[in-house]
Structure 1
Amino acid sequence: MTDPEDLAERVREGEVRLHELEDHADHETAAEARRRYVAAETGTDLETIGEYAFDAEDAEPNVENMIGAAQIPMGVVGPVSIAGGAIEGEHFLPLATTEGALLASVNRGCSAIRSAGGADARITDSGMTRAPVFRVDGVVEAKQVVDWVADNEESLREAAESTTSHGELLGVEPYVVGDSVYLRFAYDTKDAMGMNMATIATGEACDVIEAETPAELVALSGNLCSDKKPAAINAVEGRGRTVTADVELDRELVEERFGTTPEAIAEANTRKNLVGSAKAGSLGFNAHAANVVAAAFLATGQDEAQVVEGANAITTIDDRGDSLYASVSIASLEVGTVGGGTKLPTQAEALDVLDLRGGGDPPGSNADALAEIIAVGALAGELSLLAALASRHLSSAHEDLGR
């Protein structure tokens, strides 16, 4: 068996590069050798980072130059009652975070939703996008490309879908800016988040476009997708799952559970989430939907950088006299239950809590269900925080919890 200290010494001497260690030893030994090297170079103790509950080899698709694992506390909220298009009944939602008071707040919202008889949730649109950018000589050629794409979408579909047994091309939307042509491809990626699937499929379609039109591919992603960046196009057109959750709570429940009134919560939402967000030029018109999205992403193995798109949410509150109507609409929630980080043991177990690990029947139903329950969790968080603000209990709640 290769000695990890010997390997670390070979790295120090320049015989082996840090990223080549798996070529000289098994994955566990390579990770330990790399950890010893980094610890010695930086004068740190990496013992805790070296404690993890999965095989290093299993993490190979998810990370390079592995030295260990980052551990984030995971809690659970609920159960919360959901009547969704893809998920029904009472469910716990695992959330991983380092922000104190977050789960307590979301759990308070979940409890109120449960007492109200549950929340409704529906996927209203779905499609993972990739938007390559092409170079043309000018607007005349740009129009030729746009027309050709419109007339030959079936050829593009055949090329794109030849790369995947699951993905389906939903459509291609063109955008022309001078001598640049952007084509926003949208795919049904079933239970996968689908970014890699969409990229590979679009690459194949781009070969056809270059062969049949004057267009020359400049970049497979032209940022009209738009991935991991705040973007109005995702807020309007959606990306991944577009999902809405709503609930109606009677006045007595609001007053008893939150210590405030429907009128006060509605005013706080209007002045904070709508007017305040508009004045700030925000793309998200909500209180803290990203908190729940991020914590759910970390718990269930999603691409954590895509919380940027998950924050593309609008919270609406309506005082209906004897009741309070509340909703959260997330325009671009990019989730999957297969592939990526969902295969890691911790994240797979969190998906098991939801009974959503792996592919659904029919395909896509598990990812739909995950999006719906995350939306309900975000709704619970919005209700609780807005109520805390309306009742002026936000700071005291944090003080009581020692945060």
Structure 2
Amino acid sequence: MADSIPRSRDDNYSAEAIDARHEFLKERTGESVEHIRAYSLDPAVLPGNVENFIGVAQVPMGLAGPLRVNGEHAQGDFYVPMATTEGTLVASYSRGMKLCRAAGGVTTTVIDDRMQRAPVFSFDNAREARDFREWLLANVEQIAAAAETTTSSGKLLDIQTFPVSKLLYTRFNYSTGDAAGQNMTGKATFAACAWIKQNYPGPEVRFLLEGQFATDKKTSVVNMLHTRGKRVVAEITLPAALVEEQMHVSTDKLFNARMRGQLGSIMSVTNNNGNHSANGLTAMFIATGQDVANIAEASAMYGFSELLPNGDFYASVTLPALIIATYGGGTGLATQRESLELLGCYGKGKVRKLAEIMAATVLAGELSLGAAVVADEWVQAHDDLGRNRP
């Protein structure tokens, strides 16, 4: 049997416990991990964020911008911290931001805001499932009251139902304030299901708290259609002359390339029809303390563009499942809090502002990479900036 990793029952984040794990590593691997163990944060703040702490992963951070946002929650110029090891990424996003700024900025709109837990209820036959569905939808108010006893900021908005065979799949949709809300909705929905089980007058209620229909940390059509996290749109109209001057392409060529990419996306059945939404979002997620696994959902994107009669170019991105927080989770850790504070987005009442900045960043990146491909500058950019030199 392999040796157990050293742990302390009294304080697993103490210097002694951390040193014990480093000695354990050195004995078994011969490595002293001097960079992993060099950090400025206080390990005492880490319970709830990581177990068996040994140090930090130092990811290089760059600054992109300024990004001009004309939103309902984010207005003005922002310098965007991006954590990445991919050369050209920060430069490319900065280039797109420069273009957008020269065109007057990116307009952003938060369309919807909801987080789910999706229990599935099981019965002996389809009629029992149908009757339960009718009762469930007639008692949403009482179910919401039970769910909301577990949270001060979460609110049950509605319950969607999807009957299949003798099963009823559901989606309990919540607003979650400035938290991402996966844990919040899980706890609230468990309380709701307990109330349902106790109060339903029909046959015994059998349920699984998650029927895999919230598709947590997995991309899905259901979340792209119905929203998970924030649904936010970023849009801009670019003058034809400006695109030609800064991107070295004509808007008609840019649009033609967009249409060809659209068909390629359909053929390959991707979760978006854009270029690289995951790039900018992942860099911002790491910098600002988001749950990076949510990129599986958050990178989903609907891109839409038009070549206007005067030759100008309208472009937009819709992010239907942007799962982010400005409070709780990893957002309060030292580095991540600093990054959020650079954007004016740390703390309560700031999550929609952050959503607008992230969506505008994605749009800038889409425009920059899309133009680079059409102008045959993509490969050269990676040659110049994307390779380590001796």
Aligned to 2:348: 359
Pair 1:41 & 2:41 matched: no
- How big is the shift at 1:32? 2.0
Tell whether the 8 Å contact from 2:117 to 2:210 is kept in structure 1 after alignment. yes
- How big is the shift at 1:389? 0.8
Q: Distance in 2 between matches of 1:123 and 1:191?
A: 14
Q: Distance in 2 between matches of 1:27 and 1:217?
A: 44
Q: Distance in 2 between matches of 1:226 and 1:148?
A: 25
Give the counterpart of 2:111 among 109, 114, 124.
124
- How big is the shift at 1:393? 1.0
Aligned to 2:228: 239
List aligned pairs for 1:225-374, cutoff 5 A.
225-272=214-261, 274-320=262-308, 321-360=310-349, 366-374=350-358
- What one-letter code is carried by the residue in structure 2 that aligns with 1:392? D
Secondary structure of the structure 2 residue equivalent to 1:342: coil
Most deviating of 379-388 and 134-143: 134-143
TM-score norm. by structure 2 comes to 0.95
Q: Distance in 2 between matches of 1:182 and 1:114?
A: 46
Tell whether the 8 Å contact from 1:134 to 1:215 is kept in structure 2 after alignment. no
Number of residues of Structure 1 aligned to a counterpart in Structure 2: 383
Aligned to 1:177: 164
- How big is the shift at 1:215? 5.4
- What one-letter code is carried by the residue in structure 2 that aligns with 1:268? A
Q: Distance in 2 between matches of 1:402 and 1:370?
A: 28
- How big is the shift at 1:217? 4.0
Aligned to 1:8: none
Relative to structure 1, the CA distance from residue 301 to residue 24 in structure 2 (aligned partners, 3 Å threshold; closer, same or farther) is closer
Relative to structure 1, the CA distance from residue 27 to residue 254 in structure 2 (aligned partners, 3 Å threshold; closer, same or farther) is same
- What one-letter code is carried by the residue in structure 2 that aligns with 1:131? A
Q: Distance in 2 between matches of 1:393 and 1:157?
A: 54
- What one-letter code is carried by the residue in structure 2 that aligns with 1:224? F
- How big is the shift at 1:93? 1.3
Structure 1 vs Structure 2: percent identity of aligned residues?
Answer: 39
Deviations 1:330-378 (A, max 9, x none): 1100011000000110000000001111102xxxxx1111111000000
Deviations 1:199-238 (A, max 9, x none): 1111100101212333544421111112111211011111
Q: Which runs of 5+ in 1 are unaligned?
A: 1-11, 361-365
- How big is the shift at 1:25? 6.2
Q: Which runs of 5+ in 2 are unaligned?
A: none
For the aligned residue pairs, the C-alpha RMSD in angstroms reads: 1.5
Aligned to 2:188: 201
Q: Distance in 2 between matches of 1:24 and 1:110?
A: 46
Q: Distance in 2 between matches of 1:260 and 1:233?
A: 37
Relative to structure 1, the CA distance from residue 172 to residue 286 in structure 2 (aligned partners, 3 Å threshold; closer, same or farther) is same
Secondary structure of the structure 2 residue equivalent to 1:106: helix
Aligned to 1:146: 133
